[in-house]
């Protein structure tokens, strides 16, 4: 699949239903109202100056990215950013030892409670993005509520890192809705980040189940959904990295994958 075809596929997939995963609750048929949200947040203007603050390539991407180009021998490990910092530091240590950089979508309230993790994450070359302020079911929210959830997390990222980050992943839904995409764009994220591989780590199965779930479905260009704060993810990671290496798939950040 060439880059143009991949972009077209990614755009089409934006409207598809999916099942499973903590961020994979069945999507709603929410449609944008076309009017200004009645619940326009009291926080004022968006946290960023608008689109263009994200990845250099973001403007060329569709409103939702599900996979990277299939002709690249690379994949992106993407993490729901929330959970016990002790477990998270163990995971970061494994990634660091392996020289692997990942993309972490932080929940705003978690970020506020764990500001000490920001520096180790960024210093290791990982990228931090937005996963809403409270990780609620954003697909069921009004435009105004969705904006507030995205914007509040963006403000935390901006104050802690100087940037809102390149990526926004909606909470409790694998795919974005038109309402979510519109509000994400308002805050400064022209592209919503989905995924095509669900590791199932959030269900806390045996580590071998996580490894198998990924290795059975991963392809070149895949974006893999994983979670901070689950010990199984830590335990499975060395075998997972070895499996990807065995397939010749290099883990990179989303920004690098879609570049
Ligand atoms: Zn999540």
- Asked whether the beta carbons of 222 and 78 are under 8 A apart, the reply is no
| Percent residues over pLDDT 90 in the chain | 76
Selected residue with higher pLDDT from 12 and 138: 138
Tell me the pLDDT tens digit for each residue of 117-159.
Answer: 999 999 999 999 999 999 999 999 999 999 999 999 999 999 9
Taking the centre of ligand 1 as the mean of its atom positions, its distance from the CA of residue 115, in whole angstroms, is 19
CA 171 to chain CA centroid, Å, is 9
Rounded average pLDDT over 15-35: 44
pLDDT band at 23 (very low <50, low <70, confident <90, very high): confident
Taking the centre of ligand 1 as the mean of its atom positions, its distance from the CA of residue 23, in whole angstroms, is 5
Q: What is the mean pLDDT of the chain?
A: 85
Tell me the pLDDT tens digit for each residue of 213-228.
Answer: 999 999 999 999 999 9
Taking the centre of ligand 1 as the mean of its atom positions, its distance from the CA of residue 228, in whole angstroms, is 9
The backbone torsions φ and ψ at residue 104, rounded to the nearest 5 degrees and listed phi first, read -115, 120
In DSSP notation, 95-128 reads HHHHT---EEEE-HHHHHH-GGGHHHHHHTT-EE
Strands 74-81 and 223-227: parallel
> Is 40 a residue whose pLDDT tops 80?
no
Taking the centre of ligand 1 as the mean of its atom positions, its distance from the CA of residue 58, in whole angstroms, is 22
Report the SS3 class of residue 143.
helix
The backbone torsions φ and ψ at residue 106, rounded to the nearest 5 degrees and listed phi first, read -85, 140
- Residue 60's pLDDT is 77
The pTM for the full model equals 0.83
In DSSP notation, 145-208 reads HHHHHHHHHHHHHHHHHSS--S-B--TT-SS--HHHHHHHHHHT-SSEE--SEE--GGG---HH
Terminal-residue alpha carbon distance, the chain: 15
Q: CATH classification of 3-9+57-258, choosing from 3.20.20.370, 3.40.50.300, 3.40.630.40, 3.40.50.2300?
A: 3.20.20.370
Selected residue with higher pLDDT from 50 and 232: 232
- Residue 55's pLDDT is 47
Taking the centre of ligand 1 as the mean of its atom positions, its distance from the CA of residue 59, in whole angstroms, is 25
Rounded average pLDDT over 12-35: 44
In the chain, what are the domain boundaries?
3-9+57-258
Taking the centre of ligand 1 as the mean of its atom positions, its distance from the CA of residue 231, in whole angstroms, is 16
Tell me the pLDDT tens digit for each residue of 147-200.
Answer: 999 999 999 999 999 999 999 999 999 999 999 999 999 999 999 999 999 999
> Is 57 a residue whose pLDDT tops 90?
no
- Residue 22's pLDDT is 74
Tell me the pLDDT tens digit for each residue of 87-114.
Answer: 999 999 999 999 999 999 999 999 999 9
Taking the centre of ligand 1 as the mean of its atom positions, its distance from the CA of residue 34, in whole angstroms, is 28
Pairwise CA distance, residues 139 & 143, whole Å? 10
Rounded average pLDDT over 5-32: 46
Taking the centre of ligand 1 as the mean of its atom positions, its distance from the CA of residue 110, in whole angstroms, is 12
């Amino acid at each position: 699949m060439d880059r143009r075809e991949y972009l077209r596929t990614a755009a089409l997939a934006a409207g598809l239903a999916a099942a499973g995963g903590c961020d994979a609750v069945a999507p709603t048929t929410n449609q944008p109202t076309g009017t200004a949200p009645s619940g326009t947040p009291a926080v004022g203007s968006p946290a960023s100056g608008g689109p263009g603050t994200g990845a250099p390539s973001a403007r060329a991407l569709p409103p939702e990215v599900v996979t990277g180009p299939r002709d690249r021998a690379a994949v992106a490990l993407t993490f729901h950013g929330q959970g016990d910092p002790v477990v998270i530091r163990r995971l970061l240590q494994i990634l660091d030892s392996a020289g692997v950089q990942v993309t972490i979508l932080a929940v705003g309230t978690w970020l506020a409670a764990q500001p000490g993790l920001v520096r180790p994450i960024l210093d290791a070359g990982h990228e931090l993005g937005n996963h809403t302020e409270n990780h609620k079911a954003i697909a069921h929210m009004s435009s105004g509520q969705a904006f507030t959830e995205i914007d509040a997390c963006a403000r935390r990222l901006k104050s802690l890192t100087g940037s809102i980050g390149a990526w926004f992943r909606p909470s409790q839904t694998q795919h974005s809705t038109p309402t979510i995409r519109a509000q994400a764009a308002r805050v400064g994220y022209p592209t919503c980040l989905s995924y095509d591989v669900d590791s199932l780590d959030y269900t806390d199965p045996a580590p071998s189940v996580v490894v198998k779930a990924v290795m059975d479905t991963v392809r070149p260009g895949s974006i893999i959904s994983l979670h901070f704060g689950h010990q199984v993810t830590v335990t499975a990671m060395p075998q997972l990295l070895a499996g990807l290496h065995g397939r010749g798939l290099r883990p990179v950040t989303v920004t690098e994958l879609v570049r």
